[in-house]
Structures are given as structure tokens and as C-alpha cells.
Amino acid sequence: MTSEGEVHALVALMELQASRAGARTDPAGEPVLLTDQDRGQWDRLLIRHGLQALERARQLGGVPGPYEVQAEIAACHARARSVQATDWERVAALYVVLGYLTPSPVIELNRAVAVAMAYGPDRGLAIADTLTTQPALAAYAQLPAVRGDLLAKLGRLGEAHAEFDRAAALTSNERERALFLARAAACVRA
């Protein structure tokens, strides 16, 4: 399998994703959003290995598969020294490619986040709003959480509060529920 680009791309994806494991939760085990993670805690060795595996996948040529595209997205995050330095336009474009290769409303939701980061929360919200009628996302807590975040960024705090409450009601993860409820409360205090 060493001559298969997608095998190397999968290794790259796994290493790049694992590199962030130490920053995904705080010392109390509470989730830390990507935008709030201390990138100094990301494992630079795993990032280096992941980028090398991604380069091997590219060198093998051929049409990139879904693992390579996902690894490219993870590499955009890994290379950036901050959230602001992330190439969000590239991330958004890669989600278009990934959505073509493996159509999914979850990929579209991720694209909505990337578009919001690249072009503004109103553009991301427009994409997220098209997903509210997707049966596959009816019980998916991340959809109202994303909508809540984008609504809050647009100053629509009442709507954001309701979306975060909805996200909290949909999740079965207690720590995630606490995060959503805290985000909802922040909308009331603002």
C-alpha cells in the first residue's frame, strides 16, 4: 500500500488531527474551541510527520481523494501560527472539493464555518441556514451551535441564545452541553 496516495494522506490526516489533542481540552477536561486553543500546545513532531506524509501523498500523483483533501484542510490549520493567520479562503475552497468527493451536510456545515472565517459571518450563516431542513442534521447539535456562533458575531444575540440552548438540548455530551449553555448565557450578559 506504500504506493497509494490515499494511504499516506490518511496517515497525514491522523497525525495532523492527533497533533492538536493536547489543546482540545483544558486542565479540567472542558472542551476548548479551535479558535481558543493554545497552538503552542500542538505537537510539532506530529505536525512535521503529518506534513511529510501529505507531501508523499502529493508526490505519488493522481487525483486527490477525500483523505488527501481532509489532510490539506488539517495542514492549513497546522501551518498557521494563529486563527487569524489560517488561510481560510483555501480551507473554504477545500471544503467545496471535499463536498464534491463525498457529499454530506456535515461537510457543508464545516464549509459554512470556513466561509464565515474567510468572508464574514453573514456569508457563513447563509450556508448554515440552508442546512436547517436537512433531516440528517435534525438532531445534530453542531448545526445550532454554528448558527448560534454566527448569529452572535452578527450581534443577533437573542437568536444566538436560542440556538445555543437548542444545541445544549441536542447533545448527550455533558461537557459539550455546559459549553453551549455558557455560550447561551454569554449572549444574555452581552
Please provide the DSSP assignment of 96-158 as one string: HHHHHHS--HHHHHHHHHHHHHHH-HHHHHHHHHHTTT-GGGTT-THHHHHHHHHHHHTT-HH
Question: What is the pLDDT at residue 1?
Answer: 62
Give the pTM. 0.93
Q: What is the CATH code of the structural domain delimited by 112-190?
A: 1.25.40
pLDDT of residue 160: 98
pLDDT, position 68? 97
d(CA 160, CA 7): 41
| pLDDT by 10s per residue, the chain, length 190 | 667 889 999 999 999 999 999 999 999 988 999 999 999 999 999 999 999 999 999 999 888 999 999 999 999 999 999 999 999 999 999 999 999 999 999 999 999 999 999 999 999 999 999 999 999 999 999 999 999 999 999 999 999 999 999 999 999 999 999 999 999 999 998 6
Question: What are the structural domain ranges in the chain?
Answer: 1-86, 112-190
- pLDDT (0 to 100) of residue 190: 67
